[in-house]
Structure 1
Amino acid sequence: MAIILGDNQYGKAESRIVRIVRDGPRHEIRDLNVTTALRGPFEQAYLTGDQSNVLPTDTQKNTAYAFAKSKGVDSIEEYGLELARHFVGDVDPVTGARIEIEEFAWERAVVDGSEHDHTWLRKGQDVRTAAVTVDATGEYVVGGLKDLVLLKSTGSEFAGFLKDDFTTLPETHDRVMATALDAKWRFSSVDVDWNDVYPRIKALMVREFATLQSLALQQTLWHMGTAVMEEFPDIVEVRLKAPNKHHFDFDLGRFGVENAGEVFWAADRAYGLIEATLLRDDAPPANDAWRFSAGLA
């Protein structure tokens, strides 16, 4: 029996980069968490400790900071493509690069009714993400968002489900539905107006969550994904993950108080975890587009 080295990669995880444009009185901010990972003939680094092919992870970190200045951060997708193309095109013997980026959004402070030029407030919980892969097979971009917390107080049902001896859950035709959505979408092209597309995708998903009379969270995910793919032909795959944040009526009857679906216990765990992948039947191969590094995007 022989032991062989399988897939491997190495890089620098979670470099926190804040890029502020200060070339005028009104400043702009982009707040990123960047992970780089390189792929190539690095077997000897593992097998014998030979580092001659290894570009240090510290160098990768420095490059990410330098590119934030020299290339700028108009969109995280384009910034990730610039980094990945550099590692593959300019660093021998690198044959593939994976860049994962989280972006934390800020909104301008309003002072005396006007937006302030250089003060911001952290905006929301949800995080924009991008995963860029460049290798010999091509260039791949997976956009995304995570921790988009959504709740609606009606318009959701769950009934007609399979039952057995251990089933205690009652059927309902009117319930609170809440989740913290993790969504990713793969493009067939890199010729995309990234900053235009992202808010439109997010708005479509919120619209479907809000307006669908949902018979199950599974159905809601299907409608979210199809709405996005129908609107954007160059999105060929959507992957969705949604924990079902359960809200149960709290029993106030024992205190002589009526509770007609107005006071709830928001359960922390256990929770249902619903996942789905939507794929066009003519989608080009993903190759390593979904092979993650730190798994942050």
Structure 2
Amino acid sequence: MAIELGYNQYGKAETRVVRVVRDTDRHEITDLNVSSALRGDLTAVHLDGSNANVLPTDTQKNTVFAFARDGISSPEEFGVRLARHYVDSQEPIHGAHLKLEQYTWTRHGDHTFSRGDGGEHRTAEIDYDGTDVKVTQGLRDLLLMNSTDSEFTGYIVDKYTTLAPATDRILATSVNAEWKVSDLDVDYNKAYETARNALIAAFRDTYSLSLQQTLYAIGEQIIKEVPQVSEVSLTLPNKHHFLVDLAPFGLENPGEVFYAADRPYGLIEGTVKRN
């Protein structure tokens, strides 16, 4: 029986780095969570326990902090710098994959900020194989709701179907999105803001007959407005809001009181591509 090593990588997960710019009295904050994964000539460490080709994960953590001292213009630029360094400076390392999350702090003055737990955050993924760099932007947990302009009718009905058609419903979701940037000569911050604004506008302006229709409209709008984007992938959980029956209490409910269900929930996923 033949046994061999398959795909493998290793790295440092979730290095949290906060960079404060103090050039003026009005401070700027960049708050990142950085995960690195390296691949290359690593057979010996798995088969023989030899660490000769291993760049320690602690070194990867330290590199994040050292590179942050030079500044962070965007998560994408920072990730590309790190990936190139790991691969180009170490002969046994042939590829690097970086995942970055950026947490948003709300400004309340020159040096006062607030941030709620959880909530939306910006994401970036970088892959570098020694020759080509691939950049993916995105966001997670963006909560959106339309209180009307959404229907769900005309679906398959079988003996297990109990869902009543809805001609005026709440449409709510928590968006996870990522988009591939095909042209790396781009202002990453501007591209991100344009894509995020396009996403929200498409959700707001689409009269939705299905969440799938809304998903496509979002992807289409991002591709139209950001020419450097080649592909958009979206995950849209349907945050169901069910009309509460108030009849037992002698009350009418003209679409005003809803129960927000936690689970189970519909999960809509799809990719929109530029031809």
TM category, shorter: over 0.9
Offset, 1:172: 1.0
Unaligned runs of 5+ in 1: 110-115, 282-297
Which residue identity does 1:93 align to in structure 2? P
1:292 match? none
* Of 175-184 and 127-136, the range deviating more from structure 2: 127-136
Which residue identity does 1:9 align to in structure 2? Q
Match of 2:119 among 107, 116, 125: 125
Describe the SS at the equivalent of 2:111.
strand
CA contact (8 A) 1:77 1:132 kept: yes
Offset, 1:37: 0.6
Offset, 1:199: 1.3
In the TM superposition, 1:41-120 aligns within 5 A as 41-70=41-70, 72-109=71-108, 116-120=109-113
In the TM superposition, 1:214-253 aligns within 5 A as 214-253=208-247
Offset, 1:257: 1.3
Alignment size in residue pairs: 274
CA contact (8 A) 1:140 1:189 kept: no
> Compared with structure 1, are the counterparts of its residues 165 and 137 closer, same or farther at alpha carbon in structure 2 (3 Å cutoff)?
farther
Match of 1:166 among 153, 160, 167: 160
- In the alignment, does 2:204 pair up with 1:210? yes
CA contact (8 A) 2:149 2:207 kept: yes
**Deviations 1:227-283 (CA, angstroms, capped at 9, x unpaired):** 1111222211110001000000112111111111111110000000000011223xx
**Deviations 1:94-124 (CA, angstroms, capped at 9, x unpaired):** 1100111000011211xxxxxx211112268
In the TM superposition, 1:25-40 aligns within 5 A as 25-40=25-40
Percent of residue pairs identical: 51
Describe the SS at the equivalent of 2:144.
strand
In the TM superposition, 1:252-271 aligns within 5 A as 252-271=246-265
CA contact (8 A) 1:9 1:38 kept: yes
- In the alignment, does 2:266 pair up with 1:272? yes
Kindly report structure 1 stretches of 4+ aligned residues shifted beyond 6 Å.
Answer: none
Unaligned runs of 5+ in 2: none
1:175 match? 169
Normalised by the length of structure 1, the TM-score is 0.90
CA contact (8 A) 1:148 1:182 kept: yes
Which residue identity does 1:49 align to in structure 2? G
Normalised by the length of structure 2, the TM-score is 0.97
Which residue identity does 2:114 align to in structure 1? L
CA distance in 2, matches of 1:246, 1:158: 12
CA-atom RMSD in angstroms: 1.2
Offset, 1:208: 0.8
Describe the SS at the equivalent of 1:66.
helix
CA distance in 1, matches of 2:48, 2:153: 59
CA distance in 1, matches of 2:153, 2:7: 45
Instruction: Kindly indicate whether structure 1 or structure 2 has the higher relative contact order, using CA contacts under 8 Å at least 6 residues apart.
Output: 1
